[in-house]
Amino acid sequence: MKEILEKLKSEAIEKIENATQINQLEEVRIRMLGKKGALTEMLRSMGKLSAEERPLVGKSVNEVKVLIEKELSDKKQMLEEKALMDRLGSESIDITLPGKKPESGTLHPITKTTLEIQEIFASIGFSVAEGPEIDFAKYNFDYLNTPENHPSRGMNDTFYISEDVLLRTQTSPVQIRTMLQNKPPIKIISPGKVYRKDEIDATHSPLFNQMEGLIVDKGITMSDLKGSLEYFARSLFGKDTKTKFRHHQFYFTEPGAEMDATCPKCGGKGCRVCSNTGWIEILGCGMVHPRVQSMCGIDPEEYSGFAFGLGLCLWHGH
């Protein structure tokens, strides 16, 4: 009996030592200590032993049982720790991996166009002036020589905040603000948002972007206007671009004109973009009206100037 017990004990301990996985320990436990395990059987068969032998054998079997249980739980703890270490090792973060690059946005097409046009005018000495989108009616209309009864002044066309204050319908009030605050020479452009009560369709929106331009100095003539604006059109659309000026009345210019450029899409042959005319309207312009200059305190006898306003849309293919 003692020999068998010794054998079982060393066998179990060897198996426990060699075990590399927790389920191998479980096997040992079942085989030794389970309901039908070897030690359990031994305890059960003790009935056959003599009364003197029984407590001695019982004691040894129990000792072996306790020993095996301890070995099993020690080894189990060891294997669990090892498994944890392995997992931590394999799941560790590789800080040498390159990070994920956040996707970056791009500039809005209107912004790109604005910057491009600003650069063109900067190259011939214009600087950028800013004006408010909420402005006084007097700067948006009165100082611009707009007749008292002109329809654009009405509630149907213009967003009024109060009787005297509105969302500007054009960037032209920046001309007025600039002339009121500065003595010539003046040479500015002014991009920005403008507002009109228009329903949205393919070519209208209650909010759109314009760029104003103003130059006032001694001896400015219509040929300065034409030269500057032709230079602008060729810089923006390409050197083969042609321009033409058609008379158009604006209350704040005398004379006034609209400038067309050959369509940048088809080069003037005619296409969908230019409605088969070969031309697209680019801007309104003119010589600053003497009355406007006077209202702003700039003597029209001494100084003259030209102005223009262009609608910023996406015509040049951005």
Please report, as ranges, the residues that interact with ligand DAH according to CB under 6 A: 170, 172, 212, 250, 253, 256, 284-286, 307-309
- Which is nearer to ligand DAH, 37 or 256 (by Cβ)? 256
Closest CB to ligand DAH belongs to which residue? 309
Q: What is the dihedral of CA 90, 93, 95, 96, to 10 degrees?
A: 40
SS3 content of the chain, % helix, strand, coil (to 5): 40, 20, 35
| Least separation in angstroms between CB 309 and ligand DAH | 2
Q: CB 1: neighbour CB atoms within 10 A?
A: 14
d(CA 318, CA 114): 11
| Least separation in angstroms between CB 104 and ligand DAH | 35
Sign of the alpha-carbon torsion through 197, 203, 207, 209: negative
- Which is nearer to ligand DAH, 33 or 110 (by Cβ)? 110
Residues 238-267 as b/e (b if ≥16 CB within 10 A, e otherwise) read eeebebebeeeebbbbbebbbbbbbbbbee
- Which is nearer to ligand DAH, 32 or 166 (by Cβ)? 166
| DSSP β-bridge partners for residue 308 | 213, 285
**The tokens of 194 are what?**
């403008």
- Which of 295, 132, 281, 303 lies closest to 215 in space, CA to CA? 303
- Which is nearer to ligand DAH, 37 or 114 (by Cβ)? 114
- Which is nearer to ligand DAH, 12 or 139 (by Cβ)? 139
- Which is nearer to ligand DAH, 28 or 307 (by Cβ)? 307
| Least separation in angstroms between CB 212 and ligand DAH | 6
| Least separation in angstroms between CB 269 and ligand DAH | 28
Helix (H, G, I), strand (E, B) or coil at 304: strand
- Which is nearer to ligand DAH, 25 or 287 (by Cβ)? 287
| DSSP β-bridge partners for residue 310 | 211, 283
- Which of 217, 161, 215, 170 lies closest to 191 in space, CA to CA? 170
| Least separation in angstroms between CB 302 and ligand DAH | 20
| Least separation in angstroms between CB 97 and ligand DAH | 55
| Least separation in angstroms between CB 279 and ligand DAH | 18
